[in-house]
Amino acid sequence: MPLTTIYGDGTRIVGDANALEQTLHPTVMAYINIMHSPTGGNYAMSVNEIDAVNNMVQALVSNGIWTKLVAIYPIIGTTAAAHKFNLIDPRDADAAYRLSFLGGGWTHTANGATPNGTTSYANTFYALNSLTSGHLSIYSRTNTDGLFQDIGSSNIGTTIYNGIVAKLTNLYYGGINQSANLTATVANSTGLFLTSRTSNVQLNMYKSGILVASSGALNSISANGNNMFIGALNTAGTATRFSNRQYSFASFGSGLTNEEAKAFSTIVQAYQTKLGRQV
């Protein structure tokens, strides 16, 4: 394999007869550095992993999606320390929306992070507060059926719900700051599930880049203000609906248009394929 040197300014030199110079996106360089620090478990990203992350970021930038993202969890590495970072703001801080893996029972591998289905969940420290724009996405590598909350939050009483349930009796449930879920029939719980709200009266749901449900008349109330959990539902601070699905990507941010959502799904699938863990 050609020798590769990555310099502090992000310049990458591949040392072979056809050597090329490539500049990494600054955020990617920051992500590499914190992964390789004690707080990241001193994880040294491979050249393939670096290319996968950088290719994804550059594609998101070129498609005008990067600025709409608040958090991306690439789930690179084999430990909780490596899996926790938000690529958009790769700091080990609650304010940077890095993941805190709680409840015990998590399994971390190169393919993803897997909760145990009974106690495990991850706090993102991010609350989706806008009624008019927002999206949630999660990449599941496990095909299981049940009321497993892949990502979400709600309050008590008049329920204000954010979240994705990838599959319950062949249904995909999605919602953003509303009291009634949108549903779509799906064959399995694998792939990228994305729920996007682009206005107070427009919610779309996508599975692996395909629009599977759309609503122009939502029952909107207000934001619940609770942090989003991954692998469980945050019900006013209490984790419920524990999942046992393996996750290899998640994101939050502003609402994505139909074209952006489809491009986003294509980019994320290419990222997973580069890492050899696509479904």
pLDDT by residue, tens only, the chain of 279 residues: 334 445 444 544 444 444 344 578 999 999 999 999 999 999 999 999 999 999 999 999 999 999 999 999 999 999 999 999 999 999 999 999 999 999 999 999 999 999 999 999 999 999 988 778 899 999 999 999 998 999 999 987 657 788 999 999 999 999 988 877 899 999 999 999 999 999 888 899 999 999 999 987 676 667 788 999 999 999 999 999 999 999 999 999 999 999 999 999 999 999 999 999 999
Give dist(CA 42, CA 273) in Å, integer: 25
Give dist(CA 99, CA 93) in Å, integer: 9
CATH architecture of 68-274: Sandwich (2.60)
Residue 113 carries which side chain, given as an amino acid letter? A
Contact (Cβ atoms closer than 8 angstroms) between residue 107 and residue 132: no
Give dist(CA 125, CA 225) in Å, integer: 11
3-state secondary structure (DSSP) of residue 26: helix
- Residue 97: other Cβ atoms inside 10 A: 23
Q: What φ, ψ does residue 116 adopt, rounded to 5°?
A: -90, -5
Largest CA distance in the chain: 66
Of 148, 44, 110, residue with least CA distance to 277: 110
